Structure 1
Amino acid sequence: MTITTTTLTRAAGVAAVVGGLLYLGVQINHPHLDLDFISTTEWKVRQSMKALFAVLSLAGITGMYLRQVKRTGVLGLIGYLVLALGFVFMVSIEVAGAVVLPTIAGTSPGYVTDVLAVAVPGGHAAGDLGLMQSLINLDGMLYLAGGFLFGIALFRARILARWAAALLAVGAVATLAIPLLPQVNFRLFAIPTGVALVGLGYSLWRDQRTPAGRPLPDAVSSRLDPAGAK
């Protein structure tokens, strides 16, 4: 198989679709975060799905950015870099959650409980989490700012589905309302982002499947061009 720019871009579209579906799927019937849950196989599976979501989404937004690099300008570059860094940090956090937390839950239950507490937007730790607290906070800010800026840039570029680009921006900003709405399941706020990634990924994949239109010959010029006469 010949690797071409079109092939890689279509693959990025598929990655975004799968990543979005994983993000939506992992929210379904998600158990409460506590010490009992993180010792289960389900915890490891869900954490692995979240890490895979971040990796696939990173590949997806890279394809989206490269497809529209000339149209998105400086805003697109900033939005892409911020959101990409957010996904990189997210991978490290989710992998640590899957591998490290279950290992130390028995010896440091207070620390693990605090990490689970701040994993929920608006949650607070009772003790000192060290750099883990800073990493989680920074990832949240990057994810929010990057999603908003990149969504706006994609919307302005007018190449991929604009409704999905707008939903990405709105979904990122909507997470700010989570601490203000404690009675609402915060996992519902993940739906806009998941749907946006699916929509953008499909739009990117479809865009690369559409053959470039061939320019139609100018009938008038053909008639006036002596070389074209038979």
Structure 2
Amino acid sequence: MNSNRRTAVIEGNNQESKMKITNSSLIRWAGLSAMVAGIFYVVVGIFHQPNILSSVTTTQWAIVHALATAMCFFFLLGITGLYARQVKEAGWLGLAGFLLFSLNWVLTAPFTMAEFTILPLLATEAPTLAEGFIGIFTSSAGETNFGLLANLWTLTAPLYILGGLLFGIATFRARILPRLAAGLLAVGCVLAPVAALLPPEHEPKVAVPVGVALAWLGYALWSERREQVSEPVPSPSPKLRQTAAK
């Protein structure tokens, strides 16, 4: 009887330990994804060319928008881990920010993919159509009406601003991840409309603070989980050793 009980206790402890290690590993990798997404966002913000037809066929345009597409997927993984780490402390505000901010990147990914796969071909074969597609991002009316696509892109702006603001505030209040990084995320997203006041070649640089904040939060999550996983497993209590001996 004692032997069966001891075996059940040991197996239960092993399963619980494995689950903790698995969860820690998943959240740690999510932190790494957030770091990558943030770094990519900084690079995209610095090297993004003006949204004009002559930029579309350049190698720089293709590289930047390929990174932007990958960034969207890394971001979705990263913010999921950031939210999971503080789900209780972030509350409904964190949930709302997580959902809105994530939806923004879900909608953004197909556009960035089209910009480096389809748009260069259009620029060569159908320049008028390409200029109309670029007009979606510059809010300029072209000869081609993209209707629903234009509306979807317009929707990304409030999702980005409101989602980032709420998630940043919730993270700041949760006091688990760096509060300065959380504040930078919230402020950076709110400052997004400032891009419209800048020259076209400098508009994307408004994204840099948000990229820095995301990479910072991701590093904090990744390093935190690495430290926890590397902690030694505590030895069994004397009472448990006595029970095992029996």
Q: TM-score normalised by the shorter chain: which range applies? A: 0.7 to 0.9
Q: 1:183 to 1:63 in 2, by over 3 A?
A: closer
Q: Residue 42 of structure 1: CA displacement?
A: 2.7
For residues 175-201 of structure 1, the C-alpha deviation after alignment (integer angstroms, 9 at most, x for no partner) is: 122223448821221111010011100
CA distance in 2, matches of 1:30, 1:64: 27
CA distance in 2, matches of 1:96, 1:171: 26
1:16 matched residue in structure 2: 34
Q: 1:11 to 1:95 in 2, by over 3 A?
A: same
1:125 matched residue in structure 2: 141
1:180 matched residue in structure 2: 197
Give the stretch that moved more between structures: 145-154 or 203-212: 203-212
1:61 matched residue in structure 2: 79
CA distance in 1, matches of 2:79, 2:97: 10
2:14 matched residue in structure 1: none
- 8 Å CA contact retained: 1:115, 1:125: no
CA distance in 2, matches of 1:194, 1:173: 14
1:193 matched residue in structure 2: 210
CA distance in 2, matches of 1:48, 1:113: 20
Structure 2: gaps (5+ residues) = 1-17, 233-246
For residues 155-180 of structure 1, the C-alpha deviation after alignment (integer angstroms, 9 at most, x for no partner) is: 11110011111111100000122223
CA distance in 2, matches of 1:186, 1:74: 32
Q: 1:150 to 1:90 in 2, by over 3 A?
A: same
CA distance in 1, matches of 2:119, 2:200: 28
- 8 Å CA contact retained: 1:111, 1:129: no
Per the alignment, in what secondary structure is the counterpart of residue 24 of structure 1? helix
Q: Does 1:136 align with 2:153?
A: yes
- 8 Å CA contact retained: 2:83, 2:94: yes
1:50 matched residue in structure 2: 68
CA distance in 2, matches of 1:182, 1:25: 18
Q: 1:80 to 1:29 in 2, by over 3 A?
A: closer
CA distance in 1, matches of 2:35, 2:112: 20
CA distance in 2, matches of 1:179, 1:206: 37
User: How do 1:139-150 and structure 2 match up within 5 A?
Assistant: 139-150=156-167
Q: Residue 112 of structure 1: CA displacement?
A: 1.8
Larger Rg over CA atoms: 2
Match of 2:220 among 203, 220, 227: 203
- 8 Å CA contact retained: 2:107, 2:152: yes
For residues 62-120 of structure 1, the C-alpha deviation after alignment (integer angstroms, 9 at most, x for no partner) is: 00001111111111111101111111111111111122212222343223223324424
Q: 1:8 to 1:141 in 2, by over 3 A?
A: same
Amino acid at match of 2:71: F
Structure 1: gaps (5+ residues) = 215-230
Match of 1:113 among 131, 134, 157: 131
Per the alignment, in what secondary structure is the counterpart of residue 125 of structure 1? coil
Q: 1:70 to 1:12 in 2, by over 3 A?
A: same
2:182 matched residue in structure 1: 165
- 8 Å CA contact retained: 2:49, 2:201: no
**TM superposition score normalised by structure 2:** 0.78
Per the alignment, in what secondary structure is the counterpart of residue 211 of structure 1? helix
Match of 1:101 among 119, 127, 134: 119
Q: 1:169 to 1:189 in 2, by over 3 A?
A: same
Amino acid at match of 1:170: V
1:82 matched residue in structure 2: 100
Q: Residue 47 of structure 1: CA displacement?
A: 1.0
**TM superposition score normalised by structure 1:** 0.83
CA distance in 1, matches of 2:215, 2:58: 29
- 8 Å CA contact retained: 1:148, 1:170: yes
